[in-house]
A and B are shown apart, each in its own frame.
Chain A
Amino acid sequence: MERHFAVLAVGALLVLTLVTGAAGVPAVDVSKSSIIVTFRQENVPVDAPFKKFNGRIDYDPQHPGAAKAAIEITTGSLDLGSEEYSAEVRKKNWLDATTYRTATFISTAIKPGPLGHFDATGILTLKGKTQTVTVPVSVARAVTTTSFDGELQLSRSYFGIGDPEWNDVVDDKVRIKFHIVE
């Protein structure tokens, strides 16, 4: 058990180092960025934002293939619009936000596409499970900022989020839409 925690601690440190990165390199501007989960219950689409996350995307338009991304999300910050529901989703059978405080995405390969687009492949860690995902990302550069937009679809059951009794009401497929500005 202690060893398990030690591994977790080292892992968390490693992620943090990756996320905060070297001094001077711009990090994600959380106030301008958003990571929004869209789930469907009784076919009603509900947008729920994560209020806390941070990360870094190293992106050089001259060498898009060398880009790197690391995002860390505080799982307990998911806002379902009412405290009653937000508290519910932090519980063990959902995100288990006390045991698994963060969810991370660490890129492993970037495949440049047409101008302003790339496919980011990386490892997503959520509720103690990992999944290799590939997300199409579009890049928009302004004078001082760069924004990255994309969307991916996950399966709740794969990550063990939500008891099976909910499956008739809440869709298994959950979309995550991100708008990252740095």
Chain B
Amino acid sequence: MRQTVASAGYTRTAITLHWLIAALITAGFTLGATMVDLHISPRKVRLYAYHKWIGITVLALVLIRCCWRLLHAPPPAEPMPRWQMSAANLAHGLLYALMICTPLIGWLYSSASGYPVVYLKLWQLPDLVSKNDALAKVLVQVHGVLAWTLFWVVLLHSAAAFKHHFIDHDATLRRMLVWRRG
């Protein structure tokens, strides 16, 4: 029992990464959904740049988070029906896959369309593919579908967290909020 209490929370690093990534995904998604319909203007070009920087940051943070998670196992889940456990595992798997694939496909799209990513206006990232208009057209569609899938899975993930907090009154959400140890 003591052991369960001691390991009931996520590490500070895991909590920080979770919320930082959550904020960046929200910003990146909102930006992406808005910028595509704007008329060509200096503002549009800037927003595209910010969107790409956010995406690359998310990609990097998610990779760091994966490494961290491998070294620091997440706390065991609160008791819940088996189907909920499976659904949670599936959703988490999907979230990780989407958090990696969405920015990665975005980067590929940038390369294929001949507009390389220059991170923070400072570092030009390597092109993952050479310029290819036909491929770019497909990749931009895939990027959009992945982003919207991510949107719905994030919504489901948040709804489940609220359900655990307000209906089940368990510690599922709290353990991602409580700042306990390094």
- Chain A residues with a Cβ under 8 A of chain B: 41-48, 81-82, 84-85, 88, 165-166, 168-170
Contact = CB atoms under 8 A, between A and B. Distances in A.
A46 B115 contact: yes
B163 interface: no
A182 B130 CA distance: 27
Contacts of A82: 113
A81 B133 contact: yes
B116 interface: yes
B131 interface: yes
A81 B42 contact: no
Contacts of A45: 116, 118, 124
Given A41-B45, A47-B131, 17 more contacts: A42-B49, A42-B121, A43-B121, A44-B49, A44-B115, A44-B117, A44-B124, A45-B118, A45-B124, A46-B114, A47-B114, A81-B113, A81-B114, A81-B115, A81-B133, A85-B40, A88-B40
A43 B116 CA distance: 10
Nearest to B40: A88
B46 interface: yes
Nearest to B122: A43
A88 B113 CA distance: 17
Contact of B46 (A42, A47, A48, A84): A42
A44 B116 contact: yes
Contacts of A42: 45-46, 49, 118, 121
A85 B116 CA distance: 16
